Amino acid sequence: MKSLWHYTALCGSFPELKQNIQTDILVIGGGLSGLLCAHFLNKDGADVTVVESNKICGGISGNTTAKITSQHGLIYSNLIKRFGVQKAKLYLEVNNSAIVEYRRMCADIDCDFEEKDAYVYARSDISKLKKESEALNILGFNTDLVTDTPLPFSVAGAIRFKNQAQFNPLKFAYSVSKGLKIYEHTKVRELKGNVAVTDMGNITAKKIIVATHFPFINKHGSYFMKLYQDRSYVIALENAPNVDGMYIDEEERGLSFRNYGNLLLLGGGGHRTGKKGGNYDELRKFAKKYYPQAKEKYFWAAQDCMTLDGISYIGHYSARTKNMFVATGFNKWGMTSSMAAAKILCDIVQDRSNKYAELFSPSRTVLRPQLICNAFESVCGLLSIGTKRCPHLGCALKWNSAEHTWDCPCHGSRFNENGKLLDNPATGNLKRK
């Protein structure tokens, strides 16, 4: 199962590490956030190396819907309530800056970059939209509340963010990767101090950035408590209308829409990894009802790391790891968050101050309601009876009939029907009995 991005972007290849090497900065993970970190560090003259366990952008970065936007659902009213106006303003500012940086970089990259408006719509009740609009006014950001949309159903209203963007993420990522020192098919099995251990060689680094989607090192940072993973699905339709924008439902499990060329990307059917959800069936039923003339061209799924408070973890891996850093928990907004993370880490890793660092610090409080839910799911997973257990922390795996995979409801690791690892934080395949 490949996304349409894999079919429309030409990918180069990089060698596998086959010897011991040294580098000043090691980036573990060749997704978009890792590549952008390496790109900006390299521009600053740093000696930086990227290692990727598979192909670069072969995971979540290649399965996104690729929206570049500071419109992250109805987040800003919640940020003001939880963190105050100033921190909410910093969150908006860093994401707006990410859009500006993408616009600058994409001027020289053939990646189908298009400026589009982004909308959050409500099917029946616009009270949450009005609250969000008021919050954005407080933050000094102008939005429109509209009632007419090209969606195939009526809406009560929608908040519009103007001058956002969309693109082909793999065309962009492959361009960014040129000139970087990258090793593919090089899986880091463990860290021993400042040495990353792989199957064919060790990497000694002064500083290490973990950009592996879900952090795989359990003894620091407690990410197994602070994160869970959420699965979502996309189908690409021919002969469907052009919605001329990017749309998401204000409801957590609603549908999303955007176009790419002559295709309409319909997203939704989501659920916590290891749980049941609408998956592809929900999308296909919707398409059959509202777009009966459309033909499904591609289908794929993505997985997102969700934090306790809706803000990514970007910075020192933990308070005790002076020379190890992390970028994770992008909460379904991986494009702008990857750019923001790269900019923040580029400063922190080089001992420069960054005004956004405190907001995104992974060491901030974990006393959030989501922590109780995560702990409950972990206990249930550990106590559940099942013959197949996740090698990460031992939770019972659940069969995902839509994708024919074994999924972990605790932390989101996934394996194919033969036990091969598909998604971390597990670092190895299931053991055969």
Q: What is the pLDDT of residue 10?
A: 84
Q: Across residues 416-421, what is the average pLDDT? A: 84
Q: What is the pLDDT of residues 396-411, one digit of tens each?
A: 888 888 888 888 888 8
Q: What is the pLDDT of residues 101-124, one digit of tens each?
A: 999 999 999 999 999 999 999 999
Domain 369-423 bears CATH identifier 2.40.400.10: no
Residue 7: in which H helix or E strand, if any? helix 4-8
Q: Across residues 152-175, what is the average pLDDT? A: 97
Whether the per-residue pLDDT at 423 is higher than 90: the answer is no
Q: What is the pLDDT of residue 363?
A: 94
Whether the per-residue pLDDT at 378 is higher than 80: the answer is no
Identify the three-state secondary structure at position 111: coil
Whether the per-residue pLDDT at 277 is higher than 80: the answer is yes
What is the band of 189 on the pLDDT scale with cuts at 50, 70, 90?
very high
Q: Across residues 42-48, what is the average pLDDT? A: 97
Q: Quote the mean pLDDT of the chain.
A: 93
4-64+170-222+309-360 and 369-423 in the same fold = no
Q: Which residues contact 370 (CB under 8 A, 6 or more apart)?
A: 228, 306, 307, 308, 309
User: How many angstroms separate the CA atoms of 95 and 335, rounded?
Assistant: 10
Q: What is the pLDDT of residue 317?
A: 96
Q: What is the pLDDT of residue 212?
A: 96
Q: What is the pLDDT of residue 394?
A: 82
Q: What is the pLDDT of residue 432?
A: 66
Residue with structure tokens 């707006």?
Answer: 96
Which of 226, 257, 259, 271 has its CA nearest to residue 400?
A: 271
Is the Cβ–Cβ distance between 405 and 422 less than 8 Å? yes
Whether the per-residue pLDDT at 149 is higher than 90: the answer is yes
Whether the per-residue pLDDT at 325 is higher than 70: the answer is yes
Q: What is the pLDDT of residue 194?
A: 95
Q: What is the pLDDT of residue 433?
A: 56
Q: Which CATH architecture has domain 4-64+170-222+309-360?
A: 3-Layer(bba) Sandwich (3.50)
Q: What is the pLDDT of residue 346?
A: 98
Q: What is the pLDDT of residue 323?
A: 97
Q: Which residues contact 252 (CB under 8 A, 6 or more apart)?
A: 270
Whether the per-residue pLDDT at 238 is higher than 90: the answer is yes
Q: What is the pLDDT of residue 206?
A: 98
In this prediction the pTM is 0.93
Phi-psi bin for 222: left (phi > 0), alpha (psi -120 to 50), beta? left
Whether the per-residue pLDDT at 86 is higher than 80: the answer is yes
As beta bridge partners, residue 405 has 400, 416
Q: 56-60, 198-202, 225-229, 411-415: which has the minimum mean pLDDT?
A: 411-415
Q: Where are the domains of the chain?
A: 4-64+170-222+309-360, 369-423
Q: What is the pLDDT of residue 428?
A: 81
Whether the per-residue pLDDT at 372 is higher than 80: the answer is no
